[in-house]
A and B are shown apart, each in its own frame.
Chain A
Amino acid sequence: MTTEAIGLRDDPDAVLVVRDLHCSYRTATGPVHAVRGISFDIRPGETLGLVGESGCGKTTTGRAILQLPPGTSGSITFEGRELQGLRTRAMRVVRSGLQMIFQDALSSFNPRRRVVDIIGEGLRLRGVPRRDRRAQVAASLDQVGMNIDIVGDRRPHEFSGGQNQRIAIARALALEPRLMVCDEPVASLDVSVQARVLNVLLKVRKRNDLSLLFISHDLAVVRVLSDRVAVMHRGRIVEIGSADAVYETPRHPYTRILLESVPVINESERRAATVGPTPVDETWREVDHALVQVGEDHFAALGDPIQEPATRRSRATR
């Protein structure tokens, strides 16, 4: 399926390269193909926003990158190293370079642990001795605007959602990762808190030259953070390119529908152009189309229909 390589920029320095990734899993009612052949790459210091509605496969993609669980087929290369099929022990070594933050930060913490232990856990697993750990934990917390002496001995349930999310970011940073997968990190936060967490991410990203895979259903949030954007629908990428291109001149009908549906304060925020080629009306909902280049660093699934060999259509995963 070399057509899947369309949309990949051939950059030898890329931190992450995903090629033709498929993720399926078994349920009581048959196999569910959550991800059906997607490809993208992320460069150092770059943020790729992965947007789509529930069931599109974006969360599954994020987890597959961390191999938790691995994808069913395809290739995931991190810093040049193939992750798919990597043995557990070898994967654990790679792990520190790849971190993740979740939508509900609180549930990603062991409720019985203190903050300082939560953040230091990764360091402990790496063999960093206790006294050095505290200093590194303090540095991590400092990056997210928190003071270890004030928050270190507390437990997660004593903090608000936004504070917990910052603690989660600090935990990820402690291992000095190259890439961080953010799975809807601000979805359940109030607007005011969301803004603070996003600002923390912006700052932290710049300072550490961190690459981000930012998964979200909120297009406005993604706009703030992302250099490039990929739109997923039913397990496939229907549009991918630079954020400016996708937001200002969306080509795929689904992208346009998404942009049109976002509730905005002022209609003027929506600058989506509506000109440009589209495939035959509505068939894109049922049939997969190949990605074609529609601009410099801009690709959309407007090409010929793809015949998937005996693959069941992806169903919503929830």
Chain B
Amino acid sequence: MSTTPLVEMRRLRLDLETEAGTAHILRDVDLTVPRGATVGVVGESGSGKSMMLRCLLGVAPARSTITGSIGFDGEDLLALTAERRRKLIGSRVGVVFQNPMTSLNPVVPVARQMGEAVRFHQGFSKQKARALSIDLLGQVGIVNPERRIDDYPHQFSGGMRQRVMIAMALTGEPELLIADEATTALDVTVQKSILDLLQRLQGERSMSLVLVSHNLGVVAGRADEVTVMYGGRVVESGPARQIFENAAHPYTQALLRAIPRLDAVPKQPLPAMRGLPPSVYDPTLPPDEADRRDLERWMSDQREDDDDN
């Protein structure tokens, strides 16, 4: 197995044209996904993590300018035509999104949706595709898959729908599985079982797994490496242990402190963060300068007297 990382994103920049000016959605984002590893990408709303994924998958919004490079198995995705890119990553990357009800067509039985995916990726006959679909449903923990495969999405519970989504994402035998806030809308016990499932599948298939979440707990204990995003930039990245035990960037530290803990001293105010992620609308500053100023401003915000805390 090659030791080059499966995904190597370098200095990714995304600028979006809007009526209010040019929005710097992503600024010099670096991301590395080693083969067979689990990478956690954490960030709050507006951090750009979803946009980054969209760039990787080739579905960035129109009217956006993207620079930098996204290496997938050595090839730069941004240098390819859309056609080539689709062929390259189509079956090698699987994605599971947050809301399975809107990712699955509610009026089509699961068998057909999965069958389509299978045949698209692997070109099997209908029977073979159905058999493979049933097998995949079983692998993701659906009981009686041969019966359930003909059900409609709404006949599954939220957690089971997500399992169906995972099965669909696996139809192309991907090398990379991305879970974009895949468990955010689920109950905590269901969330745990889905995350356990993802980890198990990753181990069985030696896939790389990318967990994108705003919930650091989801990522802790499951990721080998963690990248923290804020305001369109990567503020910190490294081995998970290091990030969680010894965060270097003040934002990461503040974020970790603000999370309520199960063993919290009750009724103590949480060390909350002031201010909101920086506006991405300052077109006059070059990105590095904007970087520095935003961080300075953000840090001085933290020091201000605040009667909320």
Contacts and interface: CB of A to CB of B under 8 A. Distances in A.
In the complex, A touching B (Cβ < 8 A): yes
Contact of B44 (A190, A244, A260): A190
A261 B191 contact: yes
Given A199-B270, A220-B264, A225-B267, A191 B258 contact: yes
Residue among A260, A264, A268 with max Cβ neighbours from chain B (10 Å): A264
Contact of B263 (A53, A200, A225, A269): A269
A225 B266 contact: yes
Residue among B256, B261, B274 with max Cβ neighbours from chain A (10 Å): B261
B262 A192 contact: no
Interface in B230-268: 244, 254-256, 258-264, 266-268
B254 A53 contact: no
A90 to B, nearest CB: 35
Contact of A263 (B220, B276, B306, B309): B220
A217 B269 contact: no
Interface string A272-299: 0000000000000000000000000000
A151 interface: no
A32 interface: no
B272 A195 contact: yes
Given A261-B188, A265-B261, A224 B270 contact: yes
Contact of B261 (A145, A243, A259, A264): A264
Contacts of A195: 258-260, 270-273
A167 B251 CA distance: 26
A247 B262 CA distance: 8
A266 interface: yes
Contacts of B307: 145
Nearest to B274: A196
Given A191-B214, A223-B260, A265-B217, 15 more contacts: A191-B258, A192-B44, A192-B255, A192-B273, A193-B44, A202-B269, A217-B187, A220-B260, A224-B260, A260-B192, A263-B195, A263-B215, A264-B261, A268-B263, A271-B263
A224 B260 CA distance: 7
A86 interface: no
A128 interface: no
A198 B270 contact: yes
A267 interface: yes
B169 interface: no
A265 B269 contact: no
Contacts of A243: 266
Nearest to A264: B217
A160 interface: yes
| Interface bracket on B | 35 or more
A221 interface: yes
| Interface bracket on A | 35 or more
Nearest to B258: A195
A77 interface: no
The list of the 3 closest CB pairs from A to B, nearest first, reads A263-B217, A195-B272, A53-B187
A145 B305 CA distance: 12
Interface in B267-298: 267-274, 276
B45 interface: yes
Q: How would you classify the secondary structure of chain A's contact residues: helix, strand, loop or mixed?
A: helix
Contacts of B190: 53
Q: How would you classify the secondary structure of chain B's contact residues: helix, strand, loop or mixed?
A: loop
Residue among B45, B262, B309 with max Cβ neighbours from chain A (10 Å): B262
Nearest to B217: A263
Interface in A168-218: 190-196, 198-200, 202-203, 217-218
A135 interface: no
Residue among B192, B266, B276 with max Cβ neighbours from chain A (10 Å): B266
A258 B188 CA distance: 7
A190 B277 CA distance: 11
A198 B191 CA distance: 24
12 contacts: A191-B214, A191-B216, A192-B273, A194-B258, A195-B271, A223-B261, A223-B263, A262-B262, A263-B218, A266-B244, A268-B263, A270-B263
A8 B227 CA distance: 48
A265 B258 CA distance: 12
B308 interface: yes
Nearest to B262: A269
Contacts of A218: 188, 260
A264 B262 contact: yes
Nearest to B275: A192
A217 B218 CA distance: 15
Contacts of A54: 158, 187
B81 interface: no
Contacts of B269: 198-199, 202-203
A46 to B, nearest CB: 11
B189 interface: yes
Contacts of A220: 259-262, 264
Contacts of B276: 160, 193
A262 B263 CA distance: 12
Contact of A200 (B192, B256, B308): B308
Contacts of B262: 219-220, 223, 247, 259, 262, 264, 269-271
